[in-house]
Structure 1
C-alpha cells in the first residue's frame, strides 16, 4: 500500500506539474522558497521517477506547490475515476431533481391560468359560451394538486410506463383523482 501511495504521488506530481506548465526547475525553486534549501531540479526528477524517498512534510508542501493536497496526490487512478463518476452522477441527479421541481412549478403556473380562462369565459355571449364552457371543463379535468401530480409521475417512472405516450395521462385521470383526494381539492398551488 505504501508503495502504491508513493507511485500515485509521483504520477500525480508529473501530471499536475505538466498541467500547470511548470518545469522541474520551477518546482524546485518554489520548494526552496518554502524552506527546502537544497531542493534542485534533480531532486524533483528523482522524486517523479520514484528513485528517492519523500518525507511527509516535503510531500505536503509539494502538493501545495502543485495546487493539490497530500490526500489527492496519493489517490490512485481508479479511485479518482470512481470519485469523479460519483461527483458527476451527484451533479446530474441534483440537476434532474431541480428540473422536476421546476416542471411542477410550471404545471402549477399553467393550472392557475384556468382561473383567468374562466374569467374570460364570462365575457362571451351565450351562443359561443357552451362550446367554450365544455373546452374549459375538459381543461379543468387536468387540474390536480402539485403533490398528486408528483406522486403520479413517480409511480409512472417506477412502473416503467412509456412517458412519451400522451394517452397515458387520459387513461390515468381516475388515478390522479384518487391521489388528488388524498392531497386536497384538485387545485394546483405554487
Structure 2
C-alpha cells in the first residue's frame, strides 16, 4: 500500500484548505481572483476560483503553487487535513505575534534606556545651573524628572504582567486550570498526553465558524 494518499484525497484537501484559508483572510472569491491575476495568472477569474473550490474543475500543479503563494503558505500545507492546517496556521500566527511583541519590547527598551540616560544628564545640569533656592518654580519639574528616573524596563514588564494577572482573575477557564494544575506550565505538560477538554473534565469551547474546538481558549 502506498504511503501517499490517493490523488483525489490531495485534491479534496487542497480545495478545502484553499477555501478555509481564503475566508480566514477575509477575501471573497473575487478578491482572490484579483490577487492571482495581479500575480500574472490571468486565467484565474472569480468563476475559476469558484469551480476549483467546488471541485468542478481540477487544479494543475503550477496553479496550485500560485494559490499557495498568494495565501502565503507552503504548498505541502495545502495538502494536509484542513483541521491540521488550521491549527498549524493559528500556531504560526500566534508565534509570529509573540515574536513581534518581543521584538517591540527589545526596541522600546533600548529607546527607554537612551531617554533615561539623556534625562539623567539633563537633570544633573539643571541641578548645577538652577539651584532650587533661586528658582523654586523649577523644583516641580526637577521633582517630576527625578520620579521619571525611577522608571525602568523591568518595572514596565512587571506592570504588564500584573495587568495580565488581573485579566486572568476574570477568566473562568483560566481559574479552572490554575485550581486543578496549580500553574499553566503544569497544564501544558499534561497537554502532551491528554486533550484540553479531558484535562478540564468539560466539553471544549467551540469555534462557531468551524464547528471545531477552539485551541485559542487554552493557555
TM class by shorter chain equals 0.3 to 0.5
Higher relative contact order (CA 8 A, sep 6+): 1
Q: How does the TM-score come out when normalised to structure 1?
A: 0.46
User: Which has more radius of gyration?
Assistant: 1
TM-score (norm: length of structure 2): 0.41
